[in-house]
């Protein structure tokens, strides 16, 4: 039987220690509403997912900093990424009732992934910027193997508890931060540009305009600084201007062509994802 490598079998050092749990995504529900809307789950399911072992990877301590800085990522195999991109694409153009749930996609239940590592950059010292070697430990024999760029001999890993969809989302942040998102209509571009808006269906006319048209109370209590201003205020009654609520022009949904997606949504989405990851390569 072939050996099954898990996420704790890879390290930046040849010396392996006890692995530690690390959250894949932030546990704040508001932070992940776009993901929930795109994968067809509700707030309660999202909160349960983020607080469960599905949002955890058990990795070597020397990988924790690099994982949080999006210098390394655990990328699910291509079939999983393509399935999640298809789910994003379907739900983006669907109503709430027509959305598919990620629990109905069998590929997202697969725990298989590959390990990616970015080039470590040293500002002002480009001659030191390089790809770090990584090490794997055989899960049965304990033998340690060194791997160097381009890491073509790395095995496929299997997540212990992590959910594939959260690994895909973390890998997307890694690719955006390192400017690796495809420019064609590949699955990573779909994931970066087809996140379903969280406020879809909101009508601007439903806002209570009476709350907007009321004049500010503090403006009625201004104190006159001179007697001339006081006399002017007494002789001419003050009429509060009525603020007019303007309707915002709602643009039609962009056509499902990759060129329009890249031009209209891609820069904003990539910058947002890079800001969420916190750092760039």
Closest by Cα among 104, 84, 52 to 172: 84
For residue 59, the model assigns a pLDDT of 95
In terms of residues, how long is the chain?
A: 281
Q: Tell me, what's the pLDDT at 263?
A: 40
Question: Distance between CA atoms of 273 and 268, rounded to whole angstroms?
Answer: 9
Task: Retrieve residue 65's tokens.
Answer: 């900093």
Nearest Cα neighbor of 167 from 114, 106, 120 is 114
CB atoms under 10 Å from CB of 124, counted, come to: 6
Contact criterion met (CB below 8 Å) for 184 and 203: no
Distance CA 127, CA 255 (A): 45
Q: What is the pLDDT of residue 129?
A: 56
Question: For residue 196, what pLDDT is reported?
Answer: 80
Burial of 216 (0-12, 13-18, 19+ CB in 10 A): exposed
**What is the rounded CA–CA span in Å between residue 45 and residue 245?**
37
Chain centre distance of CA 221: 46
Q: What is the pLDDT of residue 161?
A: 93
**CA–CA distance, 130 with 124 (Å, rounded to integer):** 13
pLDDT at res. 139: 93
- For residues 195 and 92, the answer to whether their CB atoms sit within 8 Å is yes
Q: Which residues pair with 10 in a beta bridge?
A: 136
| Structural contact between residues 151 and 117, judged by C-beta atoms closer than 8 angstroms | yes
Residue 144 host element (H or E): strand 144-147
What pLDDT is stored for residue 247 in this prediction? 53
Count of CA atoms in the C-beta half-sphere (13 A) of 70: 24
Burial (0-12, 13-18, 19+ Cβ within 10 Å), 84 = buried
Q: How far apart (Å, rounded) are the C-alpha atoms in residues 10 and 145? A: 10
Give every CB contact of residue 9 below 8 A, 6+ residues apart in sequence. 136, 137, 138, 139, 157
pLDDT average per 10 residues of sequence, the chain (281 residues): 88 93 83 87 90 94 88 90 93 88 89 84 59 90 92 91 92 82 76 77 40 44 50 49 50 42 43 47 46
Token code pair at residue 39 = 């994968």
């Amino acid at each position: 039987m072939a050996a099954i490598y898990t996420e704790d079998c890879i390290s930046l050092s040849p010396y392996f220690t006890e692995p530690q749990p690390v959250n894949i995504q932030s546990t704040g529900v508001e932070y992940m509403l776009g993901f929930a809307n795109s994968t067809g789950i509700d707030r309660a399911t999202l909160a349960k997912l983020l607080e469960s072992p599905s949002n955890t990877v058990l990795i070597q301590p020397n990988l924790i900093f690099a994982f949080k800085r999006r210098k390394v990522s655990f990328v699910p195999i291509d079939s999983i990424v393509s399935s999640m991109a298809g789910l994003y694409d379907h739900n983006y153009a669907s109503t709430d009732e027509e959305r598919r749930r990620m629990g109905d996609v069998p590929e997202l239940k697969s725990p298989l992934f590959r390990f990616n590592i970015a080039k470590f950059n040293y500002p002002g010292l480009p001659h030191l910027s390089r790809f770090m070697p990584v090490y794997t430990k055989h899960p049965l024999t304990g033998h340690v193997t060194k791997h160097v760029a381009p890491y073509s001999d790395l095995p496929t890993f299997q997540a212990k508890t992590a959910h594939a969809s959260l690994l895909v989302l973390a890998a997307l942040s890694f690719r955006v931060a390192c400017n690796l998102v495809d420019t064609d209509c590949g699955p990573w571009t779909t994931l970066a540009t087809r996140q379903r808006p969280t406020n879809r269906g909101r009508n601007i006319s439903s806002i209570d305009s009476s709350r907007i048209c009321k004049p500010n109370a503090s403006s009625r209590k201004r104190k006159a600084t001179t007697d001339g201003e006081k006399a002017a205020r007494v002789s001419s009654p003050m009429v509060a201007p009525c603020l007019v609520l303007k309707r915002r022009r709602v643009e039609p949904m962009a056509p499902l062509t990759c060129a329009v997606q890249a031009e209209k949504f891609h820069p904003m989405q990539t910058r947002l994802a890079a800001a969420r990851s916190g750092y760039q390569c």
